[in-house]
Structure 1
Amino acid sequence: MSSLIDFRKGLTLFVFVTCLAFGAQGQTVVKGIIRDAQTRTPLSFVSVYFKGSKGVVSDEDGRYSISTTNPKNITLQFSFAGYKVLQKTIVAGTTQDLDVVMEPEEMEAVVVNKRRRTKYSNKNNPAVDLIRKVVDNRDRNRMSAADFLQYQQYEKMELSLTNKPEKLMNNRLLKNYRFLVENQDTSKIEGKSLVPIYIEETISNKFYRKAPRKEKTYVLAKKKVNLGEFVDNDGITRYLNSMYMPIDIYEPNITLLSNQLLSPISDLAPTFYRFYLRDTIELDGIKLVRLNFAPRNPNDLLFRGMMYVTLDSNYAVQKIQMELTRHANLNWTRELRIKQDFERGTDGRYHVVMSDILSEFALSKKASGGLVGERSVSYKDYVINQPGPDSVYEGKTEVMVDAPAATTDSFLVVNRHAALSATEEKAYTNMDSLKNMRSYRRLMDWATFFLAGYKAAGPFDIGPVNAFYSFNPVEGFRLRFGGRSTPKFSKRLYFETYAAYGFKDEKFKYFLSGAYSFNAKSIYSFPLNFLRVSFQHDTKIPGQELQFVQEDNFLLSFKRGDNNKWLYNDIFTAEYVREFGKNISYTFGFKNWKQQAAGTIVYQKPNGSDLTTVPDITTTELSAELRWAPHEQFYQGKAYRIPIYNKYPIFRLRYISGIKGLVNGDYDYQQVTLNIFKRFYLSQFGYADVVTEGGYTFGQLPYPLLTIHRANQTYAYQLNSFNMMNFMEFVSDHYVSVSTDYYFNGFIFNKLPLIKKLKLREVAGFKLLYGGVRKENNPAYNKNTFLFPTDEDGKTTTFSLDKKPYIEANVGIGNIFKVLRVDLVKRLTYLENPDAPDWGIRARVKFDF
């Protein structure tokens, strides 16, 4: 699953901010296309500015958009090397389209060429030669090149609404929120007004040692807006950190918005970018050359912009400004800009002193309102190649310096590298007032109900709503109602329950759970430290494992083929869960499980020439699980954590021991399982999610207690299941599996005429399972164990993997309408099994950038 993305990562907040989106007023806005007067071709990188004010640069299609709040008529100027300067008088207070043509400067001599435009080439191109020298000197110019480094860092992350139409200001529904939309900033983005709704500030002292490598952060002060109980405030911080990761322009790839984008300072850059030399200036006695760059294919996830490069032996970047191309295959993002400034240090290298990332999100390119996210970081007080005491580098990577919370504001006022604007200052008090408003809490309560499925009722949440009604062949129509307690009830004790009734089997089902939190935090929030005891009397499909949804979700009631293998279960569990700061967690558990066959499943074993039916099986298990997820980040939803994947693997090791005779346990056995997840980033070629898993079960057991491999008979594409495998089709007591999903991010479709306008993305993958059942657990060899189930014709429907693996492969199209993925899935082996599907179409809703 991807990042927002799963879109729940920010949907609750997004619903609120979308309701308050607004547009600019009282400004002069001019936009249009700039063309060559002779060839009529669009001109990119033209400087467009109002006299005496800052300006913009036209994009690769020659388009520009600029605005000013100057109340007087002004002159708009167009300037580009090799062309005459063009001036236009603009009437103040208007919004107008202005397409212009620029005349080339007159030359003393004219050389006629049959081709209007020289074909771009890397060969004999001085701009390409220069960028290759920058690439060759990357390692010596990075901050990590120093043996020791110290500096102070001030970081500000901000979310703001953009645009404020007059009709919203006069809307009665928003009259209580008018104090928010009146607090606007019109200076940050040309032509737009911003209303800050979230601000987070951090001042830190940073220490770096090259050998042995160590990075240490001492947080001196931290302050952020609190958006209230309906939003995971810490999750917002983690989410913003993952979207706007620190930028190192010398890295081959830059990670932004959960994607990797090829840096213009990369070994592959000349293959995917065009480079142009513009002009040369001198600064502090060092010559700098301006190098412009743009993607060869404007639909690729690449940057366009310019950088100033030193013409000394360092070939270092002194300044860089870049943005995503307008046609880039990126969802919800209307604009993304990066700026970095560097200063020469005492070691002769250029060190970053300012880094700014700004992006604007909207439902569409033409939407009037949106959301702007910005991460600004400034650096000062560099101390280079002077080692600190060993004690400075010891201990945790990040340490919060103890200081009274009451002094945070005064410390920030004195030590901010740049003062907050009046609009930003007011955002703290505005949002504090907002979260205490009854209308805001009511809005967020209903938004949570529709998006997460839970409705607050005092100290309890009612839900999940999508499980209130479902149907299946065993229970027929099924009604369910439940809920759980919240921290309003108790910060230590948590309860959850539901009751359900099947109208076909005419049986009641229920679930009861109680938990005690040892750290007085919610049992759903990091770091977990709780003991939970539960009892469930309900139905279950063997071999179905779901993530982020309930098993009786209404949409999952629709299934292909025969969905007639079920169990009635009585399950008592007790588990202790503990998480630690280094993203290590462990779980100790006790489980007593009584399972009774239902549907077409019958537990039978040979008894001489007859068959004996076994009414039920009882097992008692002790378990331990260790999970390690380095640098893991996530957004905490109402019921599930939504992961924000990174480049680090996730390990999960689980051990289970079944004990015969303990609480009526029928069998002795042991089981070990190891699962490893890893996301591989492949720069311009997308990324791949790879999951490997292996397991071994020790002991002599009937097939219901072996590993029943995860199958899927719904029409949804499930990442962690075999989508062409039937429920309970394969069992194993030893196995290994590999699952790969490869996301091309439009690498192929972006190059196809017409199709590239649809912003589609290619996906592909395969799933492989190899395993088997030992003779003592296989009814073909052991006549004292349970027989595999059969269908109405007496054909066996459950199998062990023989000498060949189970394999299925898929190819698909993603990003359909920005939210839908559709796959063609082909089963490649074991097609001779009864009712084995050959191929199928599966769909998945997936919100991505």
Structure 2
Amino acid sequence: MQKYCVWIFFIICIWSAQSQVPSKIGDTLSIVEQDSIKKSKFFKQIGNGFFPTKYIDIDLRYLIKYNQYEGLRTGLGGKTNDNLSEKYRLNGYVVYGFKDHNFKYSIGGGFRLSKHSNTWVDLSYTDDLQETGSSSFLTDKRFFSFFEPRLLNISLFHHHITKTISLEHRITPYLLSETELSRSNVYTTYDYTFFVDDTAFKEFRMSIAKVSLQWNPFNTFEPVGDIDVEKDGFPNFTLQISKSFKDVLGADFNFFKADFRTIYILDLNTEDESFTEATLSGGLALGKTPLTHLYHTYPNNLDKETIIQRFSVAGINSFETMYFNEFFSDKFATLQLKHYLKPFNISKRMQPQMVLISRFALGDMDHIERHQEIEFGTLNKGYYEAGLEVNKILFGFGLSFAYRYGAYHLPKFEDNVAAKFTFNISL
């Protein structure tokens, strides 16, 4: 996709250059500056996950994906842009899973209350799948990855039909907030019963309020033409509070959740291009919370017999030796440390980079007996993993190796080892 986008942009640039014949040196400089601004805007959109057209920005997240439940998942999504309206917007997507033979979709829209603070009110209706045990921040929807390798191996999903109303508001240039009220009907695509209050629940109704804050106190803003390009500074912090209300719009459970994450990068601008990245995250769920809304700490290893059978693609911040659906928690903390060494300057086009990695997870669960028809463990003894990656060996591909040790070390040596591809591209 990146290759095609670059070529499309290149063709547009050639066409634009041919349609403007400068008569003066000043005109030439003006055109060069305008082209530079257009290029910056284009790649800013691509980096946010959208391919811009005149009135609609195509959402790149829905073009093609793959997972164990849906198989190939493909579709189309997008949102209207400021050329159509600066006060109103529409967004949506429709996708189809070739293995489960089902369509999923979402449709929504919003209106702007304030341009200065970028305050929007949005409404949406979604009929889709979500990974069981996954935890996402509302403010993360502005972040995008071209390739999410962990999705290839996910098998445990729940289906949800969700109606939401949300308020997006930039409190300060460094503090972004989003508040959401939602009403969902949820059922699992696997055998699972949540037994609580002497009642066995196969389907759940939820009414949830969420408040998410993204604080980037060290970000900087660089003017490019008539826009300010935001550059990441570290550390940054994300906090999200969720509350489910029983009997509100027919909801079944009361529970409370708090999620936190901070990312810190040390010596990002050193001359030898080496740096260290640390990511600390945690979550807490209190009350009667079904497995769908608990935590799995992002495992990324297939439950197969040999290393070769488990060979797949390494994730960005996942535990490569932890098997899918092996552990769940209602409280957890993880720490991931990555040290990026100076790239090896083999040639102009081949500059692989080695990354040393250490990961730790701690978690536990109260009332584990509530979760029936499914078996899993907890992380109360502490989970340890160490590894290394050699990235960007050829065409963005590299290799990853990880080893599981500590209290959850397995009897067979090969069951503790994960060997995988990595894939990294950057604009």
Cα pair distance change 1:173/1:564, threshold 3 Å: closer
1:443-473 alpha-carbon deviations (Å, 9 max, x no partner) = xxxxx899956363x5334443x63444544
1:840 aligns with 2:426: no
1:487 aligns with 2:100: no
Distance 2:66 2:293 in 1: 27
CA contact (8 A) 2:62 2:93 kept: no
- Aligned match for 1:594, one of 185, 189, 193: 185
1:538 aligns with 2:132: no
Distance 1:574 1:729 in 2: 35
- Aligned match for 2:291, one of 683, 692, 703: 703
Report deviation, 1:585: 2.0
Structural mapping, 1:443-842, within 5 Å: 454=51, 456=53, 459-464=55-60, 467-520=62-115, 527-544=117-134, 548-549=144-145, 558-559=152-153, 563-598=154-189, 600-603=190-193, 605=195, 614-633=201-220, 644-646=231-233, 648-681=234-267, 683=270, 684=272, 686-712=274-300, 715-746=312-343, 759-774=351-366, 777-779=367-369, 785-787=370-372, 789=374, 796=375, 798-802=376-380, 804-817=381-394, 819-829=396-406, 830-832=408-410, 838-842=417-421
Distance 2:99 2:168 in 1: 38
CA contact (8 A) 2:133 2:292 kept: no
Give the corresponding residue for 2:305.
Answer: none
Report deviation, 1:663: 1.6
Report deviation, 1:693: 1.7
CA contact (8 A) 1:544 1:727 kept: no
Report deviation, 1:697: 1.9
CA contact (8 A) 2:149 2:315 kept: no
Cα pair distance change 1:175/1:578, threshold 3 Å: closer
CA contact (8 A) 1:543 1:711 kept: no
Distance 2:39 2:93 in 1: 23
Identity %: 17
Cα pair distance change 1:494/1:815, threshold 3 Å: same
SS in 2 for 1:707: coil
Instruction: Tell me which amino acid in the other structure corresponds to 1:693.
Output: S
Distance 2:94 2:334 in 1: 37
Report deviation, 1:541: 2.2
Distance 2:16 2:11 in 1: 14
Report deviation, 1:661: 0.8
Distance 1:669 1:453 in 2: 35
TM-score, normalization by structure 1 = 0.41
SS in 2 for 1:720: coil
Report deviation, 1:702: 3.5
Moved more, 659-668 or 726-735: 726-735
CA contact (8 A) 1:516 1:531 kept: yes
Report deviation, 1:650: 0.5
SS in 2 for 1:730: coil
Larger radius of gyration: 1
Instruction: Tell me which amino acid in the other structure corresponds to 2:371.
Output: F
SS in 2 for 1:723: strand
1:253-307 alpha-carbon deviations (Å, 9 max, x no partner) = xxxxxxxxxxxxxxxxxxxxxxxxxxxxxxxxxxxxxxxxxxxxxxxxxxxxxxx
Cα pair distance change 1:179/1:471, threshold 3 Å: same
Aligned residues: 402
CA contact (8 A) 2:180 2:209 kept: yes
TM-score, normalization by structure 2 = 0.77
SS in 2 for 1:846: coil
Structural mapping, 1:330-479, within 5 Å: 454=51, 456=53, 459-464=55-60, 467-479=62-74
1:733-787 alpha-carbon deviations (Å, 9 max, x no partner) = 22221111211124xx57xxx799954332111121111112xx221xxxxx122
Report deviation, 1:841: 1.5
Larger proportion of strand? 2
SS in 1 for 2:249: helix
Cα pair distance change 1:467/1:703, threshold 3 Å: closer
Cα pair distance change 1:469/1:736, threshold 3 Å: closer
Distance 1:196 1:500 in 2: 43
Cα pair distance change 1:511/1:590, threshold 3 Å: same
